[in-house]
């Protein structure tokens, strides 16, 4: 009984002691000011954002893009604490600038030449350009005229040269698909009109050893200027392939 009582008193005494054991402050527990001593340097979030912005500006200049643009900070990294030593920041773009979307910018931080940590900034890059916009719905295969479009500044998602900017670029071309009113006109949205119908008589041109030969033929497919279509030699019945020159002429491809 005496041993049991002694054990109970020991347990109660131990629990009482733990309950009232004074809690040490965090600084005292880690030696006091340890964070400041081990990591005396810091890089502010705003500085990271500035480096990322400068990188994006230089990349736009490098690619020759002089269009009006805005750079909006979506997310910046937190302040970074660093150990003592000489600091170097290397800024890089892991992917091409994404117009109209969010582009990440990587910042690699080195201390005394050794890589320490990477920070990431996210910017939304918006580029504006004066481009042609459809005044009304443009129907497939119907030639587009200057009156069907207007010039308007829009935010764009492609590099310079991907959108039509002048009515002179239309040149009587036709939409590949229906283009809704208010839509910007990209160069890949238009094509040359059909100038040769399937079954139409055409003149076949062929060159042999510098000598040009002409003969009658029949188009077996619809054709647009510059397109390659199948034709048939009206005299020999031979099937050939040729490039559409105009509404009545197809130039036979060599060896075809």
Q: What is the mean pLDDT of residues 114-122?
A: 96
Reported as a single tens digit per residue, the pLDDT across 71-109 is: 999 999 999 999 999 999 999 999 999 999 999 999 999
Domain boundaries, the chain: 41-127, 128-191, 194-252
- Angle at 98 (CA atoms; ends 92, 101), nearest 5 degrees: 120
Superfamily name with CATH number, domain 41-127: Hotdog Thioesterase (3.10.129.10)
Strands 201-208 and 249-252: parallel
Task: Please say if the pLDDT value at position 23 is more than 60.
Answer: no
> Between these two residues, 147 and 8, which has the higher pLDDT value?
147
Q: Which of 152, 112, 105 is nearest to 129 (CA)?
A: 152
Share of the chain above pLDDT 90, in %: 76
- The C-alpha R_g of the chain, in whole angstroms, comes to 36
CA distances to 115, 135, 155, 198 from 179, rounded to whole Å, are 52, 10, 18, 26
Looking at every residue in the chain, the average pLDDT score rounds to: 86
pLDDT beyond 60 at 47: yes
Q: Where are the beta strands (DSSP E) in 143-248?
A: 149-156, 174-175, 190-191, 194-196, 201-208, 211-219, 223-224, 228-233, 239-246
Q: For 171-192, how does the pLDDT look when each residue is reduced to its tens digit (9 = 90+)? A: 889 999 999 999 999 999 999 9
Domain over 128-191 is classified CATH 3.40.720.10: no
Domain 194-252: CATH class, spelled out: mainly beta
Angstrom distances, CA of residue 229 to CA of 7, 205, 220: 102, 13, 7
| Band of residue 256 on the pLDDT scale cut at 50, 70, 90 | low
Res. 127: pLDDT tops 60 = yes
């Amino acid at each position: 009984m005496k041993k049991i009582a002694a054990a109970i008193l020991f347990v109660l005494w131990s629990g009482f002691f733990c309950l009232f054991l004074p809690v040490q402050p965090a600084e005292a527990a880690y030696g006091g000011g340890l964070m400041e001593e081990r990591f005396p340097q810091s890089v502010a979030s705003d500085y990271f954002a500035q480096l990322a912005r400068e990188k994006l500006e230089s990349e736009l200049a490098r690619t020759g893009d002089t269009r009006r643009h805005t750079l909006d900070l979506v997310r910046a990294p937190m302040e970074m604490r660093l150990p003592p030593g000489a600091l170097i920041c290397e800024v890089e773009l892991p992917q091409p600038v994404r117009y109209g979307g969010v582009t990440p910018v990587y910042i690699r931080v080195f201390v005394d030449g050794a890589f320490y940590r990477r920070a990431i900034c996210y910017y939304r890059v918006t580029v504006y350009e004066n481009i042609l916009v459809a005044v009304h719905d443009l129907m497939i295969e119907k030639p587009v005229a200057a009156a069907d479009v207007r010039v308007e500044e829009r935010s764009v998602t492609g590099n310079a040269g991907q959108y039509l900017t002048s009515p002179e670029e239309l040149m009587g071309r036709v939409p590949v698909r229906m283009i809704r009113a208010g839509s910007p006109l990209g160069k890949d949205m238009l094509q040359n009109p059909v100038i040769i119908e399937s079954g139409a008589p055409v003149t076949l041109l062929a060159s042999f050893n510098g000598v040009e030969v002409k003969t009658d033929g029949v188009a077996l497919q619809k054709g647009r200027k510059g397109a390659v279509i199948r034709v048939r030699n009206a005299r020999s019945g031979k099937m050939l392939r040729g490039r559409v020159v105009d509404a009545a002429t197809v130039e036979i491809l060599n060896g075809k």
